[in-house]
């Protein structure tokens, strides 16, 4: 019985490695980002909150003003909902939720460390008139998920900054 469990455990580990599964690692951020100021229109947006959390988990301390060694600017954090299809009764059947974020990083002297980057993701969703409450809640979950995905991509892009010549 014990050898069967061992074989099953090793098989599961082999399958997970074979499919490309990896535990999420911390981002390898450049040392200059240790004291970062984040400049964003809405610091309480889902994206800004998630970026802050992820960067803090990677050892970044958020400061303001002259204490900052790097400035993360997020001039665009925009969520747009657009209609895709309309039913016979002139009601929305499907729509798309798109989230676009632009960001760049400059050092304390204003020297650009990472030029303006654009990340965009969108999801399509069906609208069911019979389940209006569920549909609106689903849209909120979708927006949160898009913000989380974009925040992870943003932090990953910041991690690649240290690998770039510059």
Output the domain CATH number for residue 99.
Answer: 3.30.160.150
| Cα angle 119, 125, 131; round to 5 | 145
Q: How many structural domains does the chain have?
A: 1
E strand residue ranges, 1-111 = 35-40, 61-62, 70-86, 92-107
Counting residues of the chain whose pLDDT is more than 70, the rounded percentage is 75
40-44, 52-56, 66-70, 133-137: which has the minimum mean pLDDT?
A: 133-137
CA distance 153 to 18: 24
Q: Are 158 and 61 in contact (CB under 8 A)?
A: no
Angstrom distance (rounded) from CA 44 to CA 29: 23
Q: How far apart are CA 154 and CA 101, in angstroms?
A: 9
Q: Provide the domain limits for residue 39.
A: 2-163
* Paired tokens of 44: 């309480």
Mean pLDDT over all residues of the chain? 84
The pTM score is 0.76
Q: According to the model, what pLDDT value does residue 13 have?
A: 66
Q: Give the integer Cα–Cα distance in Å for 16 and 144.
A: 28
Listed in sequence order, the DSSP H helices in 19-131 are 46-57
Confidence class for position 20, pLDDT limits 50, 70, 90: low
**Residue 148 contacts by C-beta under 8 Å, 6 or more apart in sequence?**
46, 50
Q: What is the enclosing helix (H) or strand (E) of 124?
A: strand 112-126
Angle at 152 between CA 125 and CA 76, to 5 degrees: 75
Tokens of 9: 């455990």
Give the model's pLDDT for residue 33: 93
DSSP label at residue 144: H
């Amino acid at each position: 019985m014990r050898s069967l469990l061992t074989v099953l455990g090793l098989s599961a580990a082999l399958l997970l490695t074979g499919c490309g599964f990896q535990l999420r690692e911390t981002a390898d951020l450049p040392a200059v980002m240790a004291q970062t100021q984040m400049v964003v229109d809405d610091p309480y947006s889902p994206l800004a909150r998630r970026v802050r959390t992820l960067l803090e988990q990677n050892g970044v301390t958020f400061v303001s003003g002259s204490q900052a060694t790097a400035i993360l600017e997020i001039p665009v954090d925009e969520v747009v909902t657009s209609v895709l299809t309309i039913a016979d009764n002139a009601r929305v059947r499907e729509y798309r939720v798109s989230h676009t974020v632009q960001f760049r990083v400059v050092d304390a002297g204003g020297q650009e460390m990472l030029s303006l980057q654009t990340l965009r993701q969108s999801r399509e969703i069906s609208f069911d008139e019979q389940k209006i409450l569920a549909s609106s809640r689903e849209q909120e979950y979708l927006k949160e998920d898009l913000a989380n995905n974009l925040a992870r991509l943003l932090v990953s892009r910041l991690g690649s900054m240290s690998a770039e010549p510059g």
